[in-house]
């Protein structure tokens, strides 16, 4: 196998034995990028010169006996995370030239762990989308079928891992933007508990929903990445001061005696038949591991989509008010006065989907409508959270499909926003409740497209997710395939 095809833990062993150098890994990854990036378009900005310089430093550290958890490992970053000295665009024209003066906490933590950054990955503009088609910098294609979408909004990060254009990557998840593309690209993706990973330096979409997490090639790598990025950050007001366990210790544990909840509301009409079959096999696999699958109910699931598309746009309307052409980013020429500059900046700087969500959010927050929409949605959100709290008194974890369909064709849903929004129907509730979730590969459709299974657990129980996902991964015996790029 080529070095770019290996996992973090496989490369760590080779680096520790000094069998390979970080420079060799980075060279292999960039050779792969040169070969396939023209077809996939996973990146907005490549950091090749920086990566080779950091790899040389890593090689020097290894020779001196300095070994960190991610020493010399090439990692890609979603272009929503601030990176000092490098473009951070959020996939938007309005930030096409923005270079932050500081690193996001997650970026800083990864640097401290020894990671080497390959570049900034493509994404739906301001993380608003489920297909990575709304980026100002062009679409990303699914490595498994270049005529299909990779999921979104972190489609670039998922595609980069699936195509071996990095060893692991970082994304953000507001309503499924890590788990859904992970499922559609056949990789592992985790959304941690809200407050487990610092959002400092994450350019906000919806502040009460956003969370940062990893994309990896297997569950053990997910545990390694979580060790690196999780933890309390005093600079971030929603960061929770709880100790972080060593997530790799959960890898070898079984789930005998566990109860795994199967929510009846998630097995509905409209699920692709191949996904339905894969989920039945997933249930059989879990039971084969010694767990008992029990039917549970999450009765307010039917309201999740409506609640999400009031709360998220409302928060986006507030967060995106700062992009006015005054301090940074895009500013059009020929404005008559300040108000004219505001209008022209936001009209030309934002894409159609971002404008749509700003208008929805502004309406929901407007005088006379706030109580009817935002307040009511917040009250129902509390009920959705309570559903999960009650469910976890009956089971240790929950199993659901990650996405109702496999990757769809590029352009298929761009003219039908509601159909696009339904792509996240199985992932949105997790963000509303603030609980962690992980998507792991669980098979392929008849057409050879990846399918993902989603496991959910209670607040700050990422260890449980790694435990069940790791056991599932080893026992399910999913056929090892690679995209035929």
Amino acid 270: pLDDT: 82
Which alpha helices (DSSP H) does 64-197 contain, by range?
105-112, 155-162, 179-185
Q: What are phi and psi of 323, to 5 degrees?
A: -90, 90
Does 327 participate in catalysis according to the annotation?
A: no
Question: In this structure, are residues 218 and 10 in contact, taking their beta carbons and an 8 Å threshold?
Answer: no
CATH of 3-248, one of 3.90.1300.10, 1.10.1660.10, 3.40.50.150, 3.20.20.150: 3.90.1300.10
Q: How far is CA 355 from CA 132, 205, 337, 358, 360, in A?
A: 16, 13, 22, 5, 9
Confidence category of residue 269, pLDDT binned at 50, 70, 90: confident
Instruction: Give the dihedral of Cα atoms 52, 58, 60, 62; nearest 10 deg.
Output: -150
Amino acid 286: pLDDT: 98
Q: Give CA–CA dist 456/401, Å, rounded.
A: 11
Residue of 28, 92, 157, 177 marked active site: 177
Q: How far is CA 212 from CA 68, 73, 78, 168, 372, in A?
A: 22, 19, 10, 14, 31
Q: What are phi and psi of 13, to 5 degrees?
A: -65, -40
Residue 467, judged by CB atoms within 10 A of its CB (0-12, 13-18, 19+), counts as buried
Q: Give CA–CA dist 469/397, Å, rounded.
A: 10
* Residue 261 DSSP label: E
Confidence category of residue 358, pLDDT binned at 50, 70, 90: very high
Q: What are phi and psi of 455, to 5 degrees?
A: -110, 140
What percentage of the chain exceeds 70 in pLDDT? 100
**At residue 150, does pLDDT exceed 90?**
yes
What percentage of the chain exceeds 90 in pLDDT? 93
Q: Give CA–CA dist 13/11, Å, rounded.
A: 5
Confidence category of residue 115, pLDDT binned at 50, 70, 90: very high
Give every CB contact of residue 71 below 8 A, 6+ residues apart in sequence: 12, 15, 22, 58, 61, 62, 113, 114
Give the residue among 331, 345, 325, 355 at the shortest CA–CA distance from 125.
Answer: 355
**HEC-encoded secondary structure of 265-294:** HHCCCCCCHHHHHHHHHHHHHHHHCCCEEE
Amino acid 347: pLDDT: 95
Question: Any bridge partners for residue 191, and if so which?
Answer: 437
Instruction: Kindly state the average pLDDT of the residues 116-124.
Output: 98
Amino acid 19: pLDDT: 82
pLDDT in tens, 220-255: 999 999 999 999 999 999 999 999 999 999 998 999
Residue of 131, 135, 153, 423 marked active site: 153
Q: Return mean pLDDT, the chain.
A: 96
pLDDT in tens, 28-80: 999 999 999 999 999 999 999 999 999 999 999 999 999 999 999 999 999 99
What number of helices (H) and strands (E) belong to the chain? 15, 11
Q: Give CA–CA dist 73/71, Å, rounded.
A: 6
Q: Give CA–CA dist 141/144, Å, rounded.
A: 9
Does 153 participate in catalysis according to the annotation?
A: yes
**At residue 120, does pLDDT exceed 90?**
yes
Instruction: Give the dihedral of Cα atoms 208, 209, 215, 221; nearest 10 deg.
Output: 60
Amino acid 18: pLDDT: 77
Q: Give CA–CA dist 61/275, Å, rounded.
A: 46
Confidence category of residue 386, pLDDT binned at 50, 70, 90: very high
Amino acid 244: pLDDT: 97
Residue of 22, 28, 78, 131 marked active site: 78
Amino acid 485: pLDDT: 87
Q: Give CA–CA dist 485/479, Å, rounded.
A: 18
**At residue 154, does pLDDT exceed 90?**
yes
The 397-401 sheet, strands edge to edge = 43-46, 116-121, 74-78, 168-173, 211-216, 188-191, 437-444, 450-456, 397-401, 259-263, 292-296
Amino acid 171: pLDDT: 98
Does 446 participate in catalysis according to the annotation?
A: no
Amino acid 65: pLDDT: 92
Instruction: Kindly state the average pLDDT of the residues 258-274.
Output: 93
């Amino acid at each position: 196998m080529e070095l770019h095809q290996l996992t973090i833990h496989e490369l760590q062993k080779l680096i520790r034995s000094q069998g390979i150098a970080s420079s060799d890994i980075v060279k292999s990854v960039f050779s792969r990028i040169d070969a396939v990036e023209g077809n996939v378009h996973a990146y907005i900005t490549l950091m090749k010169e920086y990566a080779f310089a950091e790899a040389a430093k890593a090689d020097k550290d290894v020779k001196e006996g300095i070994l960190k958890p991610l020493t010399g490992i090439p990692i890609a970053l979603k272009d929503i995370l601030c990176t000092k000295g490098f473009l951070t665009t959020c996939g938007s024209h309005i930030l096409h030239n923005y270079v932050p003066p500081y690193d996001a906490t997650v970026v800083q933590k990864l640097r401290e762990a020894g990671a080497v950054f390959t570049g900034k990955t493509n994404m739906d503009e301001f993380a608003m989308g489920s297909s990575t088609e709304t980026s100002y910098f062009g679409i990303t294609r699914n490595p498994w079928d270049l005529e299909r979408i990779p999921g979104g909004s972190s489609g670039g990060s998922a595609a980069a891992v699936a195509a071996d254009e990095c060893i692991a990557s970082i994304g953000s998840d507001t309503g499924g933007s890590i788990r859904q593309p992970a499922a559609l690209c056949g990789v592992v993706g985790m959304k941690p508990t809200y407050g487990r990973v610092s959002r400092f330096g994450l350019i906000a979409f919806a502040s009460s929903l956003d969370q940062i997490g990893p994309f990896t090639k297997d569950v053990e790598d997910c545990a390694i990445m979580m060790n690196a990025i999780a933890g309390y950050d005093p600079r971030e007001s929603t960061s929770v001061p709880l100790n972080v366990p060593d997530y790799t210790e959960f890898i070898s544990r079984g789930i005998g005696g566990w109860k795994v909840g199967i929510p009846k509301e998630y097995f509905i009409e409209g699920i692709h038949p191949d996904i339905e079959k894969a989920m039945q096999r997933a249930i059989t696999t879990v039971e084969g591991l010694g767990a008992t699958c029990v039917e549970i109910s999450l009765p307010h699931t039917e309201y999740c989509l409506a609640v999400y598309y009031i709360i998220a746009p409302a928060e986006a309307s507030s967060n995106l008010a700062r992009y006015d052409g005054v301090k940074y980013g895009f500013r059009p020429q020929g404005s008559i006065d300040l108000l004219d500059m505001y209008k022209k900046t936001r009209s030309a700087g934002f894409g159609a989907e971002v404008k749509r969500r700003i208008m929805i959010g502004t309406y929901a927050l407007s005088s006379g409508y706030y109580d009817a929409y935002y307040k009511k949605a917040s009250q129902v959100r509390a009920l959705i959270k309570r559903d999960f709290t009650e469910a976890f008194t009956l089971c240790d974890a929950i199993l659901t499909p990650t996405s109702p369909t496999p990757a769809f064709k590029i352009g298929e849903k761009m003219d039908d926003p509601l159909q696009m929004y339904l792509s996240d129907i199985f992932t949105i509730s997790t963000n509303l409740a603030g609980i962690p979730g992980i998507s792991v590969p669980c098979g392929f459709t008849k057409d050879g497209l990846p399918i993902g299974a989603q496991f959910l657990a209670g607040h700050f129980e990422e260890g449980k997710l790694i435990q069940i996902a790791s056991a599932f991964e080893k026992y399910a015996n999913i056929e090892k395939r690679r995209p035929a790029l």
